[in-house]
Amino acid sequence: MADIKTLVEAQRTYFLAGNTLDIEARLDALTKLRHAIVEYEDRIIEAVRRDMGRSDVETYFNEIYLNLEEAEHAIRHLRQWMEPKHEKTPNLFFMADSELHAEPYGVTLIISAWNYPLLQLFSPLIGALAAGNTAILKPASESVHCSRIAKELISKIFSPELVAVVEGTSEITTQLLEEKFDYIFFTGSPRVGRIIQTAAARNLTPVTLELGGKSPAIVDARADIELAAKRIVWCKLSNAGQLCITVDHAYVHASIKDAFIAACRRWILEFYGEDPSASEDYGFLINHKNFDRVISYLGSGTIVHGGRHDRARRYIEPTILDDVPEDAPVMQDEIFGPILPILSFDSLDALLARQRTKEKPLALYLFTKDKESQAKVLRTTSSGGVTINDCMSHCGTPYLPFGGVGNSGMGGYHGKHSFDTFTHFKAVMIAPTAKMLDFSVKYPPYAGKRNTLHRLSKFHLL
């Protein structure tokens, strides 16, 4: 506890001394982080493999490439982001200048989940550093090897007064939340997100909560069945289903459901072979607790593909469930595993009406060639983000914000949106000093001046 308090105080002292304000200091920090990620590529890939068995290509793209792109994007655009922004000034403040000045919050806390542990640490860190903050990083204890790599990498390139990694269980997180931070960024479950927000409220600390939820895919009668199946299977089984924006379940039009299931089975075989347990491209669950939870869902429907599992290896075969009722256990909580429930629908309108009664998901996926259906889904549903005729694309760009809404979170980041998240935009007005522009109508005594205000407002001069 004392060490955490000392660390927070040291970072606050470092920040208040102005060490993070200059653009050169920020660019230096971003460049160091970028170079370190490149240097640690092989060690990052090995750490993720040991924690989750994920393939090197998946890890390179998600934990390395996306972070490098994020850092490079910030380095290229930071000078522009930091410049004061001139805004319009109303007639009431004639001849004054209105501006927005970007200023950092101060000492930030970034808490990551275990499923993409380095992406969820370093991507928001890039935003925090670009905006001129210090940061304390709390990696998830479940991904132990990735946590160690994060600490080693950060300790090598940054002084703890600027960036530090604090390892440990949820007890350490609780201790961290007892300190006063200027901004908290959390990635994890809605349950823990509520705890984070409650703790932040004690100090009126603003938060970004990147949570999760049951993100559906809708496959209507006018979809390209093979393409939809290919992309949904790829998304669902990435990281063995342990992904906050994965397809949790699929609603498929009744007229194409059988063809869709057959296509999914073909793509599973194409991607991972007859025995996915022997595939270098297919991983395992993070721990036995999550393994047991996911296995409990196998009885929620008819297994039409997969179902085999090995607890000793935390392995669950890619599994498709048919005949799944809406009230089945697998439909109540986020699955976070390689089980794909498939439910059929006849009416898109009825399906969307039912979807609107549920918690808002982090992502929603729609597969259709029908423009009217696309417009209807976008108009009548709410989710953190949407990808049409693909999966996850909306969160892989620095030009769109990534984040949730309602139960799936609040706030967004990536690219300029990361800089904005960790920035307070201070409203600044610079008034003229010429006495001839210092209108007497605003000063007492006010007797007889209301009629003057009426005349001015009539001509929109106020």
Distance set, CA 109 to CA 21, 46, 263, 400, 454 (Å): 18, 26, 44, 23, 51
CA–CA gap between residue 84 and residue 103 (Å, rounded): 10
Q: Give me the helix-helix angle, 41-52 and 23-39, nearest 10°.
A: 60
Backbone angles phi, psi at 87, to 5 degrees: -120, 165
Chain length of the chain? 462
Q: In this structure, what is the dihedral angle of CA atoms 234, 240, 241, 244, given to the nearest 10 degrees?
A: -100
* Closest to 49 measured CA to CA, from 144, 173, 190, 137: 144
Place of tokens 């006018």: 222
**What positions carry a catalytic annotation?**
210, 244
The two three-digit tokens of residue 181, written as one number: 């931070």
The single-letter DSSP state of residue 408 is: G
Residue 402, C-beta contacts closer than 8 angstroms, at least 6 positions apart: 210, 384, 385, 394, 395, 412, 413, 414, 417
CA–CA gap between residue 252 and residue 243 (Å, rounded): 21
Place of tokens 């409990």: 296
CA 143 to chain centre: 18
C-alpha angle 335-337-341 in degrees, rounded to nearest 5: 60
Residue 12, C-beta contacts closer than 8 angstroms, at least 6 positions apart: 106, 107, 134
For residues 189 and 212, is the Cβ–Cβ distance under 8 A? yes
CA–CA gap between residue 424 and residue 431 (Å, rounded): 22
